Structure 1
């Protein structure tokens, strides 16, 4: 049976923890009484809140006593319940308002690694409004006003819990796209006569592919198994891709389509540029296609031994790429010579590094710590005075790394802010030069109606 996320209900005695526990598990399991301290051992139960499914843990009322006392031993049980918890619900009594015990335990919970949701119970009356404002003093964010006894505020509790339950499920999900340690699938693409087959022959140290001064010798995508420093590589040589307007013959059209399929099935794509010709518009179109397919990209200047004024050429191509591929920063730019073999080891090493980044999974905890910092540094705009609320982020898949941001009014979020988040992601998790996917999603509240 799959392990469920754990949500621990915490608070001082007699704030309604057991009532909330019974509400979440859907039956009267925990004993409820006005007398404080009824619950002494922690109790677990299968809880459901709309489509959220988790293990709810009812705990003893927290009291600030030494470990040798009964109250102290009960507190140790509560601390143990926090191990591996996805979230903790700190319950306060909205009718009574904050007490020194509430403040003490809120300060303690802020020192733990567990996400804390502040729940103001018994908030069914107007008298609770003052306590709700006062609850902000605890530094735990917006309080969720509920009445566990009457079932009020469950929609707001759902919205507060959903990010943490979803985060747990994402972390537990076995990612089918995860790197299985198989051979690096490395495709070499470029315009005709850029030196693709010559480079592969030099890598293999044999005349494996037909080469010559004539453009368009290679027609099919050729896969070759190879090993580099004990690591398996599957090299894919492809036909040169010309401008679409120049592709007239049926055979060349088929070759170009075969190259596009090779890009689809590659992990890392090396776009080879002829250093004697520099960067052309067609090169940028090929690079854009690789990125649109979500493949890791390396740009390599070939025939480097024949290039003149190498420093100026390299810097010029680098500047042109920064302008022409503005949607992604940090694409590796390398130099190589198929004639001398210079730069080949660096190329293969960088290809493995790019595959590692392309396959990277960032934990939800790391992601949301970054997310909070990014929002604090540059809050989202408020178009027409309407606040855009970004709640949390999770990684949906890898290869390429794909992330989903949940929030409200996301249709009003400008593209410039999405680009800010993507660039911040790249810098925070060393994802430079890797295509990223960022999806905005508003999670519907099932209790909204």
Structure 2
């Protein structure tokens, strides 16, 4: 991207709506409630022939540095410092407020180019607010409607004039038509094309961090990054949007997603929290490995187990992180107890890797990354058909399939149909009659004999083709 643009303004003027319009996707949460956005969220923007990085920010408010609003303002000021250009959004429908004038002065002192944007200009009676915007002394406002997409050409021209043509178009004649959006589902589920490839330890890795509210997810990511990139604090439920950040670990790019804390479904009643949870679920589906953060002081709550079950049902590779380990008084005894509970309460993926960590002090974070990479390697594992059929033969000798209605079931052939997660197909007689207990026996045998701990394993059973099925009986 050629330059970076930050969208700023007071709460509820339409910053996130404009952000979604520019990136072409509904990435940021949008609601009529003021103050929905709290962290700064980057995205790849496309505006006619312009390509740039856009940053959505929290609404600017005057508040003390120790308050939640004050920490949100610090995140916004960090985005302004990071950006090459600022879009200052005002509400043309409701007109200017003293906050607009205060932050207009703040942007003027920053010394960086500013484009004044009068949003909601399609509304009846918005002319007064549009002309009032001239009093800010930031040049002519650009009238737009972020919700309906009006005024985008004028916004493009204003950005080019403010940033300069050389910066806006660093390489004249770029073939922008070659740039296409990547479908998340294709990037995650379209694994068949590279099934036979060996595990690439340099390939970027997508990791989602999930857990209950106030488990320490954002603090953990900040510790990984070595900076206060994400908004944190003692209040539960600070994070609302799923924010992605990138960093390098031992030469490998890690794309990590911070998500909103997920409570029990019965307790989620507000529309905004439902949107946050839905955003978190999308991050789980997009990720390859999911770190489930437990509060080590109160682990294995019902919601923790449901989150782990959700991740495994989605087919993601899972790693457990017992956070706040610095608060544990008897680490050895507690660790032994936690490992016993992990095996007993999460039998659907035996061998789940569990790591004690402290996002506050940094304890155990390198070990956690090692387990994430090791789990991802197992999640991508492929086994040759010859080995599988030799294993299938030995498995049936050791424990034959049961007889159903006086007829013994036969397992004839086995092959791996995909990885991510490992999935297998078994050709057999009467697949519907195979009991669930024998399927679990096979899954546990695969997990133990081929060293695949902690990842979901799928086995599909298919009846073999009968060549005489459609042939009429001879009279």
Determine if the TM-score, normalized by the shorter chain, exceeds 0.5. yes
Task: Assess, with a 3 A threshold, how the Cα gap between structure 1 residues 174 and 184 changes in structure 2: closer, same or farther.
Answer: closer
Q: Does 1:280 align with 2:307?
A: no
Summarize the alignment of residues 33-432 of structure 1 with structure 2, pairs less than 5 Å apart. 174-175=193-194, 181-432=202-453
Question: By how many angstroms is 1:222 displaced?
Answer: 0.7
Give the structure-2-normalised TM-score: 0.57
Tell me by how many angstroms 1:346 deviates. 0.7
Structure 1 gap segments, 5+ residues each: 1-172
Whole-Å separation in 2 of the counterparts to 1:426 and 1:279: 24
Question: What do residues 17-67 of structure 1 show as CA deviations (whole Å, max 9, x unaligned)?
Answer: xxxxxxxxxxxxxxxxxxxxxxxxxxxxxxxxxxxxxxxxxxxxxxxxxxx
For structure 2, which runs of at least 5 residues remain unmatched after alignment? 1-191
CA apart distance, 1:327: 1.7
Distance 1:249 1:177, change over 3 A: farther
Distance 1:283 1:177 in 2: 35
Q: Name the SS for the 2:321 alignment partner.
A: strand
Question: What residue is the counterpart of 2:88 in the other structure?
Answer: none
Q: Secondary structure at the match of 1:224?
A: strand
For these two proteins, the number of residue pairs brought into alignment is 277
Tell me if structure 1 keeps the 8 A contact 2:323–2:359: yes
* 1:338 positional shift: 1.1
Q: How many angstroms does 1:312 deviate by?
A: 2.9
Residue 234 of structure 1, CA deviation: 0.5
Are the counterparts in 2 of residues 278 and 313 from structure 1 also a CA contact under 8 Å? no
* 1:174-201 Cα deviation digits (max 9, x unpaired): 4469666531101110000000000111
Cα separation, 1, equivalents of 2:424 and 2:374? 21
How far residue 382 of structure 1 moved from its aligned partner, in angstroms, is 1.0
Query: In the TM superposition, what is the alpha-carbon distance from 1:246 to its structure 2 partner?
Result: 1.2
**In structure 1, how many angstroms separate the alpha carbons of the residues matched to 2:332 and 2:422?**
34
SS at 1:212's partner residue?
coil
Equivalent residue, structure 2, for 1:111: none
Question: Which secondary structure does the structure 2 equivalent of 1:422 belong to?
Answer: helix
Q: Which SS does the other structure have where 2:347 is aligned? A: coil
The structure-2 alpha-carbon separation of the partners of 1:174 and 1:197, relative to structure 1 and needing over 3 Å to count, comes to closer
Instruction: Decide whether the 8 Å contact of 1:177 with 1:399 is kept in 2.
Output: no
- The CA distance in 2 between the partners of 1:258 and 1:175, in whole Å, is 28
1:53-84 deviation per Cα after TM superposition (whole angstroms, max 9, x unaligned): xxxxxxxxxxxxxxxxxxxxxxxxxxxxxxxx
Aligned counterparts of 1:339 and 1:424: Cα–Cα separation in 2:
40
* 1:422 positional shift: 0.4
Distance 1:442 1:240 in 2: 44
1:10 paired residue number: none
What secondary structure sits across from 1:223 in the alignment?
Answer: strand
Separation in 2 of the partners of 1:413 and 1:328? Answer: 21
Separation in 1, partners of 2:221, 2:357 = 11
Other structure's SS at 1:327 match: helix
- C-alpha contact 2:211 2:292 (8 A) present in aligned 1: yes
- Deviation by residue 1:242-291 (Cα, 9 ceiling, x = unmatched): 11111121111100111111000110000001112222010000000000
Instruction: Give me the whole-angstrom Cα distance separating, in 1, the residues matched to 2:322 and 2:452.
Output: 22
SS at match of 2:297: coil
Partner of 1:316, secondary structure, is helix
SS at match of 2:260: coil
TM-score for both structures, normalised by structure 1: 0.60
| Rounded Cα–Cα distance in structure 1 between residues aligned with 2:196 and 2:316 | 13
Answer whether contact 1:396 1:404 (CA < 8 A) is retained: yes
C-alpha separation in 2, matches of 1:440 and 1:395: 12
